[in-house]
Structure 1
Amino acid sequence: MKEFELKAKGKIKRLTNKTFKFDERVQEGWFSAVYFLKTKEIVEDCIPDNYVTMQFFQKNHAVLCGTDEAIALLHTFADHPEELEIHSLKDGDKVSPFETVLTVTGPYQYYGYLEGIIDGILARRTSVATNVYNVVKAARTSGKQKPIIFMGDRDDHFTQQAGDGYAAYIGGSTAQATHAMNEWWGKKGMGTMPHALIQMFKGDVVAATKAYNKKYPDDDLIALVDYNNDVITDSLKVAREFGDELKAVRVDTSRTLVDKYFFRNQHLMGSFDPRGVNPELIFALRRALNDEGFDHVKIVASGGFNEERIREFEEMNVPIDIYGVGSSLLKITTSFTGDNVLLNGEAEAKEGRRYRPNPRLERVEYIPEKD
């Protein structure tokens, strides 16, 4: 097991390849662009004594994530990692366009074939972290932070969950849908009931909630209330049944449906889009709960939320207490580039690129493999 430490402001952070569980085929070049593999062979045969500095950057204001993973990759698969000089910013650092976030110096053939993999790690992790950060920021009003639940398990391949969940945590989401999403930061997944549970109780939300509460009495009781497309009626049914035990109701109405509340109150129609989870529905739900003394019951909303939509809801003071967000957080919005910028300590880069020293970078110290 290879280990290393990252010294930052007097503290030491220990990481291992066990944390990240890399595919061993990285060592064989399986995931590297073929031209990197060919370059490695040519350098080994023709010019093995050159020292190259490779620097990594991107072009947005972003929340950096993936540096720990990239460094672990280098110390796991580079040849003679103890001979590499690595400087890096930290996961969670705010970065500017073109700011250098990572540099690696050493013989090219030791690590060059990992360039594209590092770009990909930084791109995905930083994109998710930044997307989550922006959503979390949108849900912060009047000095109060509303929680964001990261619900991206159904929006991408399951093998991405651990890294995406960690990146979401770096971005500010402290609740994740699966155990895998929490693996790298030491928590467990959270969740209540899906529509599938209610379906097996033939649409009886109260019966499904009773079964859930009996099986998981220590969980905060949160009822999913949109199964019958009548969230106010079902919310009141559950609230009357459970009283103070009920902590929240979750509304997840499809964007293609209009809740039955509006068909009972057609005079409201015409001035807004009544489909899905909309402000008027949430305002009406809050009033209905409060009118019967259930003001302690929080409202969780999910389904199609992103930064822009959350900001619109917050500007209208829609009484949502917790947002569940999924697919919008997984979009790749940030791409990284690795460039060779120094050759044996002298400036040497392709036209338009140059070495950009960054005083914020910190040296990564290597610890040899333990017995």
Structure 2
Amino acid sequence: MTQGRSPDETHLAEVWPTLDQVPRWTDKYFSRTRAVIERYGDAEVTYAVFMRRPVVFAPRLALLWLETLAREKNADVAIECLYKEGDWVGAGEPLLYITGSFAALAELETLLLGKLGAACVAAYNAFSMCVELPEVAFLAMDARHCAGTEMAELMAYAASVGSRAAQTTRGAKGFVGNATDATARFFDQAEGFGTMPHALIGYAGSTLRAAQMFHETHPDVNLVVLVDYFGQEITDGLAVCAHFPELAAQGRLSLRLDTHGGRYVEGLGPQRSYEVLDRNAPGAIRAYRTETELRYLIGTGVSAAALWHVRESLNEAGFPNVKIVASSGFSAAKCRAMGYARAPIDVIGTGSYLPENWNETYATADVIRYNGESRVKIGREFLLTPRSGR
């Protein structure tokens, strides 16, 4: 770490555009606007930044980047956040005001909005998941769904903000970690979580052998074993438990269910899925449910019935302390359906949902004051006086 830098600043310097890179990455009309301003005289301006949909406010990384570049430009920039990090913000509400030199700020708008909007929507997504299943821990597995390291930084940060909001306001367990070392600090962890991909099981030739190889290599890491590679979730899961009885009894062994949507978990079909839920959560299937909710409850893949089926099998075999990790398409809607069924999930690994709805991540900034005089384009007068805030 560079002396005098915070961990966030160090990471920003590694993956985010520096001052000399900004002209190459900003919208060209902002660079040409800066040239006009420098020719005809600078002005002090105030930007109002807002979004067109509800979000959870996650500004820290975007504003740290802005402040860092302002210092390098020797420009005074005043930032007035109208909400605290983690606050819910309604559609169209100004998030913050930025005041400073027009010449210094013009070229930064493109990059600032990209960093702010994406983080605020992802934080909202993370919050929504956590409040649907407050008793379940989450892992942010979004890195592979991100377009490079800058986006991965934003998504992990956003997940931590949405998680803390859910923990504070709803008592949720929230996100306890993530997949990469680079962003583990957002979850107060020294490193990322994770054990094995499906490829390790293919390499080992069997689920049990992959578990043995992993444990021999990493004996101090809690063992989380994928059990769907060969389509024998119950058979292979119980074989792993029988081979590691001490880990199973200590709660250091978990079975991860990642069955794809093209088939049912071993031993299930439509009728048996209904029977499993009827035993464990009859209310889940006796109320009105949409087609999508029914798929989450009794369909193929990682359904609520599949999770109860695994839990029943573990308990009947004498492994009540073995945990269940669920992954595969977990969105807020799927989490809500799992809540209907009181699905026995200890941890959910989620990735693609954090950056979902990318078309809704666009933040907008309008200049609303020039040298202290209020002036904004017709239709955006609402930005002059925020309707709510801290």
Give the alignment's TM-score, normalised by structure 2: 0.81
Given residue 258 of structure 1, which amino acid in structure 2 is its aligned partner?
Y
How far apart are residue 350 of structure 1 and its match?
A: 0.5
Unaligned runs of 5+ in 2: 164-174, 276-293
Amino acid paired to 1:251: L
Distance 1:28 1:294, change over 3 A: closer
Q: Supply the distance in 1 between the matched residues of 2:378 and 2:210 (Cα, whole angstroms).
A: 64
Instruction: Report whether the alignment pairs 1:157 with 2:147.
Output: yes
The aligned residue for residue 200 of structure 2 is: 197
Query: Paired residue for 1:72, among 65, 68, 93?
Result: 65
- In 2, Cα distance between the equivalents of 1:146 and 1:270? 23
Q: 1:359 to 1:258 in 2, by over 3 A?
A: closer
Give the structure with the larger strand fraction.
Answer: 1
Question: 2:374: which partner in 1?
Answer: 347
By how many angstroms is 1:69 displaced? 2.5
CA distances 1:231-256 after superposition (whole Å, capped 9, x unpaired): 11111111111123032110000111
Q: Which residue of 1 aligns with 2:100?
A: 106
Per-residue CA shift, 1:164-219, capped at 9, x if unaligned? 211111121221111123255663110011111111111x2111111111111111
Deviations 1:298-355 (A, max 9, x none): 1111111111011101111121221111112112233211010011112101011131
Structure 1 residue 307 and structure 2 residue 298: aligned?
Answer: no
1:258 and 2:264 matched: yes
Question: Using the alignment, how far apart are the partners of 1:75 and 1:53 within structure 2?
Answer: 19
Identity percentage of aligned residues: 27
Residues 1:15 and 1:346: Cα distance change in structure 2 (over 3 Å): farther
Picking from 353, 372, 375, the partner of 1:328 is 353
Distance 1:186 1:152 in 2: 17
User: Does residue 268 of structure 1 match 2:272?
Assistant: yes
Is it true that 1:166 corresponds to 2:157 in the alignment?
yes
SS at the partner of 1:261? coil
- 1:248 is matched with 254
Q: Is the 8 A contact 2:140 2:179 kept in 1?
A: yes
Q: What's 1:148 paired with? A: 138
Q: CA deviation at 1:158?
A: 3.2
Structure 2 vs 1, CA of residues 284 and 84 (structure 1 numbering), >3 Å: closer, same or farther? closer
Report what 2:279 is aligned to: none
Kept in 2: contact 1:99–1:356 (CA 8 A): no
Q: Tell me: CA distance 1:192–1:77, structure 2 relative to 1, closer, same or farther (3 Å).
A: same
Contact 1:51-1:107 within 8 A present in 2 as well: yes
Aligned twin of 1:316: 341
User: Is residue 2:57 matched to residue 1:51?
Assistant: no
CA contact (8 A) 1:74 1:81 kept: no
Q: How does 1:212-291 map to 2 (within 5 A)?
A: 212-246=214-248, 247-262=253-268, 268=272, 273-291=298-316
- Partners of 2:3 and 2:373 lie apart in 1 by 31
The answer for unaligned runs of 5 or more in structure 1 is 5-13, 362-371
Alpha-carbon deviation of 1:131? 0.9
In terms of fraction of residues, the more helix-rich structure is 2
**How many Å apart are 1:162 and its aligned residue?**
2.1
Residues 185 and 136 of structure 1: is their aligned pair in 2 closer, same or farther, counting only changes over 3 Å? closer
Matched residue type, 1:20: L
SS of 1:115's equivalent? helix
Q: In 2, are the aligned partners of 1:125 and 1:163 still within 8 Å (CA)? A: yes
Which structure is higher in RCO with an 8 Å CA cutoff and minimum separation 6?
Answer: 1
**SS at the partner of 2:196?**
coil
State whether structure 2 residue 60 is matched by structure 1 residue 63.
no
* Cα distance in 1, alignment partners of residues 30 and 7 from structure 2: 27
Question: CA–CA distance in 1 between the matches of 2:256 and 2:8?
Answer: 39
After TM superposition, the structure 1 stretch with the greater mean CA deviation from structure 2, 224-233 or 268-277, is 268-277
- Aligned residue pairs, count: 344
2:117 to 123, 129, 132: 123
